[in-house]
Amino acid sequence: MFKRSTFTLGGAALSGALLLGGCANQMSQRSDHEDRVERKLLEHTLHIDVGDPKVMELPQRRVRITEQKRFEVTEFEVTRHYDRYTPYQPWREVYEIPLGAVAVVAGVGANAVNLITFGHLPDSVTHDWLEYGIAGLNPFMNVQSNGRAQQNLAGISEVQKDRREEFTSLPWSERLVEVMAGKVNHELTTDRAGILRLNLLDSPFSEQNLKHIGTLHLQVLDEDNGVRGDASLLLGSSLRGKLLEAHQLIFDDLEDDDVSQWVHRVKRLSELGLEEEASELEQSLIELTRNDPELQSELVRALARQTGRLVADPGAQ
Question: Cα–Cα distances in Å, from 153 out to 36, 37, 53, 80, 83?
Answer: 18, 22, 64, 7, 6
Asked if residue 265 is part of any domain, the answer here is yes
DSSP state, residue 144 = P
DSSP state, residue 214 = -
CA distance 295 to 11: 120
Cβ atoms of 72 and 44 within 8 Å: the answer is no
Asked if residue 161 is part of any domain, the answer here is no
Give just the sign of the alpha carbon dihedral 236, 56, 44, 180. positive
Instruction: Tell me: do 139 and 257 sit in the same domain.
Output: no
Which of 154, 176, 205 lies at the terminal end of a domain, its last residue? 154
Tell me the pLDDT tens digit for each residue of 54-108: 899 999 999 999 999 999 999 999 999 988 887 776 776 666 567 667 777 776 7
Q: Are strands 227-235 and 55-56 parallel, antiparallel or unpaired?
A: parallel
Asked if residue 256 is part of any domain, the answer here is yes
pLDDT of residue 253: 84
What total of structural domains would you count in the chain?
2
pLDDT of residue 140: 72
Asked if residue 207 is part of any domain, the answer here is no
Tell me the pLDDT tens digit for each residue of 240-262: 999 989 988 988 888 878 888 98
Asked if residue 201 is part of any domain, the answer here is no
pTM of the model: 0.66
Asked if residue 97 is part of any domain, the answer here is yes
Return the ∠ at Cα 273 (arms to 269 and 276), rounded to 5°: 70
pLDDT of residue 235: 94
The parent domain of residue 112 ranges over 23-36+78-154
Q: Are strands 60-86 and 150-171 parallel, antiparallel or unpaired?
A: antiparallel
pLDDT of residue 84: 85
Which of 103, 124, 154 lies at the terminal end of a domain, its last residue? 154
Instruction: Tell me: do 148 and 256 sit in the same domain.
Output: no
Which of 109, 136, 154 lies at the terminal end of a domain, its last residue? 154
pLDDT of residue 188: 96
Task: Identify which of 80, 81, 100, 83 has the alpha carbon closest to the alpha carbon of residue 92.
Answer: 100
Instruction: Tell me: do 27 and 138 sit in the same domain.
Output: yes
pLDDT of residue 14: 37
Instruction: Tell me: do 139 and 256 sit in the same domain.
Output: no
pLDDT tens by residue, the chain, 317 residues: 434 443 343 344 334 434 444 566 777 778 888 999 999 999 999 999 999 998 999 999 999 999 999 999 999 999 999 888 877 767 766 665 676 677 777 767 767 776 777 666 676 566 666 676 667 667 777 677 676 777 888 888 889 999 999 999 999 999 999 999 999 999 999 999 999 999 999 989 988 889 889 999 999 999 888 899 999 999 999 999 999 899 889 888 888 788 889 889 999 999 999 999 999 998 988 888 888 888 888 888 888 888 776 665 555 44
Asked if residue 27 is part of any domain, the answer here is yes
Asked if residue 294 is part of any domain, the answer here is yes
